[in-house]
Structure 1
Amino acid sequence: MNKIPVILLAAGQSRRMGGLDKLMQEVDGIPLLRRAAKTAQTVGPVIVALPPEPHPRHDALSGLDVLRVAIDDAAEGMNASLRGALKHVHPDAQAAMVLLADLPDLTEADLTAVLRARATHPNHLIWRGATETGKPGHPVLFDRKLFLPLSKLTGDQGAQTVVRAYKDKVHVHALPGQRAVLDLDTPEDWAIWRMHRSP
């Protein structure tokens, strides 16, 4: 069994969606959050950082074998979610993958490719997906040596502080198209994505 967990960050507030929840938008007939969790499950055990209950996002994960972690201080930003989820990573885990829940085009193959990059480039501490032209994005795989600095992050900048501090130990793995960076933050983004998506 793959011991590397996937931390799915899904406690954000969708502030730019005009009252809608981007993670509850349907993709392939199910909420984006559920779809992201099912994709993550294909590569390892999944820890999902969520807003406190009651919240529809908890219901969206009903029946899935994932660990749901309520982030009481989610309003602080992304790093509250990261800190909260890291507490639940198994102590024997040699690495952890961090994945944003709002990247609708990422596939099982993409996550697997970044996991494999750890084996083919073992002298690094961070392995991350990128666009086909090399722009860094998600998912991001962190060696366990970085769990401590990650657990001390605050604010809403994600793990960029740690990534910059270890920039010489980052391997960037190109994924097809814009999958690694394409997020949908506004109703307009969703409309454009749906219009151009292949049936």
Structure 2
Amino acid sequence: MRGADKLLEPVSGQALLLRTVMGARAALGAVLVTLPPPDTPRCAARRDALRGAADETGGTLEMAAVKDAQEGMAASLRLAAAWAESRLGSGSGGLLVAMADMPEIDAGAFRALRSAWDASGGTQVIRAASASGRPGQPVIFPRRLLPRLSQVTGDSGGRAILRGEDAALVPLPGDAALIDLDTPEAWAAWRAAQRP
């Protein structure tokens, strides 16, 4: 984004990060937001953007800085897997992994994923998909996969784990499960497409 923080881009009148967190918390209850290292300007700016969410009722919001963020997505996944295991203990449950740079993932998407998770009994991977069935994000990993998530390396995230799983796909409207915006041009094109 050439210096700008894409997670602070406004979507529906809110910073994208705040909108994503509020939608997830409404559907899931407890949310962990992984942040850049604490000595970075982005960490402070993202904490500030989430200040309103921390004041809202209806679920838990925790924030944790990823100290080894230079490793990419894997560092955040390891932190999230450890957080989920500590919350779940020996019980069942899972971890929903959502990228905060996907502007079409909203509370309705999180509710659809939660509904599919509840219907599955919590043992199967639940994965958002485009309306045409192409797998995307977010993904719910069942508890049995948390030890593997806590070992991931590199920036490919949980893709290697997903390859060995028979995921239940949850179609979302259009390409919501696929759209992430990484450049000012992509944001401009997306905004232009949103206009009636």
Query: TM-score higher than 0.5 here?
Result: yes
Distance 1:64 1:135 in 2: 32
Distance 1:93 1:26 in 2: 36
> TM-score of the superposition, structure 2-length normalised?
0.86
Distance 1:62 1:180 in 2: 27
- Identify which of 57, 60, 67 aligns with 2:62: 67
Distance 2:122 2:68 in 1: 35
Q: CA RMSD in A?
A: 1.6
Instruction: Tell me the residue number matched to 2:35.
Output: 50
Query: Is the 1:124–1:170 Cα contact (8 Å) retained in structure 2?
Result: no
Residue 104 of structure 2 aligns to a residue whose secondary structure is: coil
Query: Is the 2:81–2:147 Cα contact (8 Å) retained in structure 1?
Result: no
Q: Which moved more, 1:182-191 or 1:114-123?
A: 114-123
Structure 2 residue 188 is the aligned partner of structure 1 residue 191: yes
Q: How many aligned residue pairs are there? A: 181
Distance 2:52 2:111 in 1: 24
- Greater share of residues in helix: 2
Distance 2:118 2:16 in 1: 30
Map residues 1-199 of structure 1 onto 2, 5 A cutoff. 17-44=1-28, 45-54=30-39, 55=43, 56-65=45-54, 66-89=61-84, 90=87, 91=89, 92=91, 94-122=93-121, 125-166=124-165, 169-198=166-195
Cα offset, 1:124, TM superposition: 5.1
Where in structure 1 are there 5+ consecutive unaligned residues? Answer: 1-16
Residue 78 of structure 2 aligns to a residue whose secondary structure is: helix
Identity in percent? 39
Cα offset, 1:112, TM superposition: 1.3
> TM-score of the superposition, structure 1-length normalised?
0.85
Query: Is the 2:69–2:75 Cα contact (8 Å) retained in structure 1?
Result: yes
Q: Which moved more, 1:25-34 or 1:139-148?
A: 25-34
Q: 1:85 to 1:121 in 2, by over 3 A?
A: closer
Residue 3 of structure 2 aligns to a residue whose secondary structure is: coil
